[in-house]
Amino acid sequence: MHWTMGPSPFFEERHMKLAGRLEDWRAPEVDEDSPDLEAACRTLAGDLADAGFIDLMVPVNSVVDLRAVCLAREAVAYNSALADEVLAMQGIGAGAIWMHGTPEQKARYLDPIRQGKAIAGFALTEPASGSDVANITTRAERTDRGYVLNGAKTLISNAPFADHYIVMARTGEAPGAKGLSAFVVDRGTPGMIPGEPIPLIAPHPLAPIAFEDCHLPADALIGTPGAGFAIAMATFDIFRTSVGAAAVGMARRARDAAVERVLSRHLFGDSMARLPGVQTSLAEMEIDLTTASLAVYSAAWNRDTGNGSATRSASLAKYVGTEHAGRVVDAALQLFGGAGVTRGNIVEKIYREVRAARIYEGASEVQKIVIARDLLKAAGLKR
């Protein structure tokens, strides 16, 4: 079965060519059960780079083709959620640099990320501020030579082994979100202390990072002081849509597995596929999947063509993509019956893998707030 949407008004010739390349791609075998996922992630990064897919996440000309990014994430996630994590983080951990970095920062960091030789990270969340980004307390104090970081981040993908992290810290130009700045911090910088891996319900490298008198040179600042929140949101305006695409890829894999299952299983003396209740369930899955795909690719098209609000589209795509995908995967597991909850079953694995997408890069409830605020702002509501 085909993993993605066929020709559509959202796609151009180059997207259909890319879809062909993506369809041939298979994730390399890696040890996903290892408590230390570094080796697996480095193998996946090398493979994704060789296939040319990381170039889509970190565009050389600084113009992202979001439809291509979404196609890549959908296809890669169809194959492997861990490979999708690696692909996505190369983009999220590089976005601040290609969008707002100096020529020196771009020259130093971007090519190794594109080549899969360096692994990137993005450190925003703290123990007391995940959804509440404006409450970040990690501080960056200005010194004669640069900055000193103190504070703690948690739930950071690719920690503890990423080669650099985009770190958001309070520099105090204004209260709340307007007093944050973005920094690039290299692995091994004295005072940067990555913690032990946090085990998750599905394979995904994650760890806390502490900063204790961590001295940074002045040129570790990305963009201007106080621009950190805007830089983080510019990154999310691109990558939230692609989280929806990845969720669609996982849901499509679960849907395909469920179709195979009902075709091969007999219940009540007939093919399970002939039971009306089973057909209703499949129809609902297809409706959810199509709704999710449309939300994702119309948002990507909007951004690529400058149509409407990129922020509202991205939140809508993330919300619809991940919520509908979650329903599809749940329904696919239900069609497998008891086999669906046995360890090692493909739908059991996807069920665990797809869940976190409704939480990271802004939980579903946060996306609704963004959508409503953007709608009301356009209608003239002042903050």
Ligand X SMILES: Cc1cc2nc3c(=O)[nH]c(=O)nc-3n(C[C@H](O)[C@H](O)[C@H](O)COP(=O)(O)OP(=O)(O)OC[C@H]3O[C@@H](n4cnc5c(N)ncnc54)[C@H](O)[C@@H]3O)c2cc1C
44 lies in the binding site for ligand X (CB under 6 A)? no
Smallest separation (angstroms) from ligand X to the CB of 283: 29
Report residue 216 as tokens: 């940074």
Distance CA(258)–CA(135), nearest Å, equals 43
| Residues in contact with ligand X, shown as a per-residue x/- string from 62 to 91 under the rule CB under 6 A | ------------------------------
Smallest separation (angstroms) from ligand X to the CB of 370: 10
206 lies in the binding site for ligand X (CB under 6 A)? yes
- Helices vs. strands in the chain: H and E counts, helices first: 11, 10
Smallest separation (angstroms) from ligand X to the CB of 158: 7
- Residue carrying structure tokens 């990014």: 69
Q: Which is nearer to ligand X, 122 or 147 (CB)?
A: 122
Smallest separation (angstroms) from ligand X to the CB of 218: 24
209 lies in the binding site for ligand X (CB under 6 A)? no
- Site for ligand X, residues 96 to 125, rule: CB under 6 A: 122-125
> Which of 102, 131, 290, 307 is close enough to bind ligand X by CB under 6 A?
131
How far does the chain reach from its first CA to its final CA, in angstroms? 48
The shares of helix, strand and coil residues in the chain, as percent rounded to the nearest 5, are 55, 15, 30
Smallest separation (angstroms) from ligand X to the CB of 355: 9
- Site for ligand X, residues 317 to 376, rule: CB under 6 A: 356, 359-363, 365-366, 369
Distance CA(271)–CA(340), nearest Å, equals 18
Active centre residues (catalytic): 361
Cβ contacts of 267 within 8 Å, gap of 6 or more: 275
Cβ contacts of 377 within 8 Å, gap of 6 or more: 383
Stretch touching ligand X by CB under 6 A, among 182-190, 199-207, 304-312, 324-332: 199-207
| Residues in contact with ligand X, shown as a per-residue x/- string from 147 to 186 under the rule CB under 6 A | --------xxx-----------------------------
Q: Which is nearer to ligand X, 155 or 333 (CB)?
A: 155
Query: HSE of 306 in the Cβ direction (CA atoms, 13 Å)?
Result: 1
Q: At what angle do helices 310-336 and 276-305 cross, to 10 degrees?
A: 160
C-alpha dihedral sign at 9, 92, 18, 25:
negative
Q: Applying CB under 6 A, which residues contact ligand X? A: 122-125, 130-132, 155-157, 200, 204, 206, 356, 359-363, 365-366, 369
